[in-house]
Structure 1
Amino acid sequence: MINERRLWRATPGFGVAGKLLRINWAYALLICALAGVGYTALYSVAGGSPYPYAEPQTLRFGFGFLMMIALAMTPLRVLSKLAWPAYAVSIVLLVLVLRMGHVGKGAERWLIIGGTQVQPSEFAKIALALALAAYFQHISWERMRNPLWLVPPALLTLLPVALVLKEPNLGTAVIIGAVGATIFLGAGMRWWMIALLAAPVPMLLRIAYAHLHDYQRQRITTFLHPESDPRGAGYNIIQSKIALGSGGMWGQGYLHGTQGQLNFLPEKQTDFIFTTIAEEWGLVGGLTVMGLLLALVLGGMTMAILARSPFGRLLALGISMNFFLYCLVNLSMVMGAIPVGGVPLPLVSWGGSAMLMVMLGFGLLMSVFVHRHDEMLPKKHRD
């Protein structure tokens, strides 16, 4: 029987040129299409100008795209070795945020590096996925039955969650925890263990609510009763709903949205960028954007399924879940389904850290796809 992995490796041009050919260019085209949507939306929110949002965002995307291609060339074995240093750097950056971070809107979430604002919590999600994938690649399904083997990865997950909560940044902390939980499940965690971990969640939620900051409690109250303060805390979500509804089926036309162009819609270049799109392009435009987002999520999950190495499979699963949660939280937020949490829409919302980290994640996904036949076996098991 022909060994598929040997055949893959024996194919001429497995070097840089061969890897370029093996990149999932259809997936890359979807990424470019969504970034194009972001450019048109940012051009619109600036009143029909490429500055200050659309042009800088395009430059970031161009740099991120080159970074994605470079990462696609990187073997999974190299990424596995870089996982632990990346995780350590992410923890150091999160600690530095608490000690010397830039304060914005009541929270310390950014570091000023070289005159540029950097949000380490974005990198922490990617670093955690790398670290957990690197850990679980050496853990067999039999060992997963022993809860003691789950203590180290649980601590690896809880540490960045705690540091991000301290900033405070509840939305990102929840996403980090969810990414970790997804990788746990993908690694073979038993359902009874999940039930055991989920048992104290209601009590922990009560404790967490008691320690929320005033503005976080206000978000919950506003979510439940936005009309109680229409000119204050409830203003954002009320204006978002008005803009979504005014778009109708086909929208009010590009550059002709009333809520967005007349500046009634707050944070229209970041948190509420989807609202601007739906107002100008209507339900059809909104569903098109959601279709692109769904295609990217499903494509990432497919790459996870195709990967033969546990490291590649778990890494792709974690990155895909991170992207999915980005989309889910942002879209649910602007539609009023969950409290406003300050999570951008990937590739569409304006922001440097979010854009580069999303492209970093896509680069890791591409590497998993290019090297999907690499089983990463120990030396004694290699062919």
Structure 2
Amino acid sequence: MDSILLLAQLLLFALSALGVATSDWMRGAQEPHTLENLRNIVLSLALMLLVSRLRPQWALWAARPAFLLSLGLLLANLVVGFGPGSEKRFIDLPFTSFNIQASELAKLAVVLYLAAFFHNKPTDYPIIGPIVAVSLAAGLIVVSPDLDTGLFILILSGLLLMVIGVPWRRLAAITLTACILALSVSGLYLHRFEKVRDRFEGWSTYVSGRVNELSPEVIRGPLYQITQAHKIIVNAGLFGQGVGARMPNLPESHNDFVLAAIIWSGGWLAGFMVLLAWWLILARGLQIAANLEGASSVLALGLTLYLVLQAALNIAAVIGTIPIGGSPLPMVSMGGNSMLMAGIAMGLLQALSREAFTQTSKARGQEVTS
């Protein structure tokens, strides 16, 4: 077991428990989430331990079935899915209290699919097939409508292809094609993304300083979330207010804005611990990828980007440097689907770590022998 990855994951789980418990003590809290969050943490940890014992090659073998399954679920989501307002994000599992968020599975499936595609193939190999497949997955998510997650998948895929060395001419051609397609359908679907527009307008009002000119009665929606999160973070202080201290009302403080709840209870030091945990995962993931070759290296890099990019977008949105995007903070936000997918991703990183450093030890042993 990779002790650095395990330490970072357990630290994030502990901070998740702190943040969600703080959210339950919030003024105006509707229902408690602590027990559900603890259940999600236990399931995620169990999945990590199970997956970590398997060989990484099984993930490459299962990549295409997993990707096809995610596409099937995304299609089913458009028919039987449900969610807030007109959005379709969840599919109920029959005879259970659980539901599936197909877009969360798609994030992980895209990484597995791209890693498997480059198995025994050079990075200059024609990649029109994977691009069409990834674009299809992103498009199904966008029309659900969930623009933020669709863009996340495209950005994640683009970063992964760029880092592994896909030629710029191919990436430029792909980007141009995607922009043309986006512009061609923008008139058909733009009216469905009122939430995205509201989030951007709220963020622009916040960063421009015009929020000080508005009365409290006018501040609503995303602008309210941003300003409340800012007040909570500033007033938390170095050591925080403690779990029992009533936190000001903040919608989604158990989910997308859980970082603000953590800082309210644990202070700026707790916020630093969140950043430290993600820095450990990033550094260790890159080190694992550097010690592997071929598809295993691509997989380690993709899993690291998948987790860290989500975390970076969430943290940036909470502190107000980018518009609210709806990305959860992996292994910290309460969402069950996000927790489970992050558990699988961390289990795969553990398995890849074992493979990477076993190979390194053998290579050093051979050098000493020779």
Q: Does TM-score exceed 0.5, indicating one fold? A: yes
- 1:167-206 equivalences under 5 Å are 167-199=144-176
Secondary structure of residue in 2 paired with 1:266: coil
Question: Matched residues in 1 for 2:291 and 2:165: separation?
Answer: 17
- C-alpha contact (below 8 Å) 1:257/1:279 kept by paired residues: no
Counterpart of 1:35 in structure 2 is: 13
Tell me whether 1:281 sits opposite 2:266 in the alignment: yes
Counterpart of 1:340 in structure 2 is: 324
How big is the shift at 1:233?
4.7
Within the candidate set 90, 100, 116, 1:134 is matched to 116
Secondary structure of residue in 1 paired with 2:334: coil
Secondary structure of residue in 1 paired with 2:92: strand
Q: What 5-or-longer segments of structure 2 have no aligned partner?
A: 361-370
Cα distance change on mapping 1:199 and 1:95 into 2, 3 Å = closer
- 1:263-302 equivalences under 5 Å are 264-302=249-287
| Count of residue correspondences | 342
Question: Matched residues in 2 for 1:84 and 1:116: separation?
Answer: 25
How big is the shift at 1:206?
6.0
How big is the shift at 1:92?
0.4
Secondary structure of residue in 1 paired with 2:135: helix
Question: Matched residues in 2 for 1:100 and 1:371: separation?
Answer: 41
Cα distance change on mapping 1:47 and 1:233 into 2, 3 Å = closer
Question: Matched residues in 2 for 1:105 and 1:304: separation?
Answer: 41
Deviations 1:167-206 (A, max 9, x none): 1112211221122113312442112333344456776776
How big is the shift at 1:305?
1.4
Q: Bigger CA drift: 176-185 or 203-212?
A: 203-212
- C-alpha contact (below 8 Å) 2:77/2:91 kept by paired residues: yes
Q: CA RMSD in A?
A: 2.4
Deviations 1:306-352 (A, max 9, x none): 223x1111111111111112111111111122222222111111111
How big is the shift at 1:54?
2.3
- 1:1-383 equivalences under 5 Å are 23-47=1-25, 52-113=32-93, 114-141=96-123, 144=124, 149-199=126-176, 210=187, 211-212=189-190, 213-226=193-206, 227=211, 229-259=218-248, 264-308=249-293, 310-372=294-356
Relative contact order, higher structure (CA 8 A, sep 6+): 2
Deviations 1:3-47 (A, max 9, x none): xxxxxxxxxxxxxxxxxxxx2133212211110111122122212
TM-score w.r.t. structure 2 length?
Answer: 0.85
How big is the shift at 1:279?
2.4
Counterpart of 1:19 in structure 2 is: none
How big is the shift at 1:131?
1.0
How big is the shift at 1:103?
2.6
TM-score w.r.t. structure 1 length?
Answer: 0.82
Question: Matched residues in 2 for 1:218 and 1:26: separation?
Answer: 40
Cα distance change on mapping 1:247 and 1:363 into 2, 3 Å = same
Question: Matched residues in 1 for 2:61 and 2:178: separation?
Answer: 34
Cα distance change on mapping 1:128 and 1:41 into 2, 3 Å = same
| AA in 2 matched with 1:127 | A
Question: Matched residues in 2 for 1:192 and 1:328: separation?
Answer: 28
Question: Matched residues in 2 for 1:76 and 1:348: separation?
Answer: 25
Cα distance change on mapping 1:64 and 1:232 into 2, 3 Å = closer
Question: Matched residues in 2 for 1:58 and 1:115: separation?
Answer: 16
Cα distance change on mapping 1:258 and 1:61 into 2, 3 Å = closer
Deviations 1:85-135 (A, max 9, x none): 111111101110011101324310000013312111111111111111111
- C-alpha contact (below 8 Å) 1:182/1:317 kept by paired residues: no
Q: Bigger CA drift: 358-367 or 295-304?
A: 295-304
| AA in 1 matched with 2:3 | W
- C-alpha contact (below 8 Å) 1:133/1:183 kept by paired residues: no
How big is the shift at 1:251?
2.5
Secondary structure of residue in 1 paired with 2:83: strand
Cα distance change on mapping 1:105 and 1:340 into 2, 3 Å = farther
Q: Report the identity percentage.
A: 24
Secondary structure of residue in 1 paired with 2:127: helix
- C-alpha contact (below 8 Å) 1:257/1:276 kept by paired residues: no
Q: What 5-or-longer segments of structure 1 have no aligned partner?
A: 1-22, 376-383
| AA in 2 matched with 1:275 | A
| AA in 2 matched with 1:32 | L
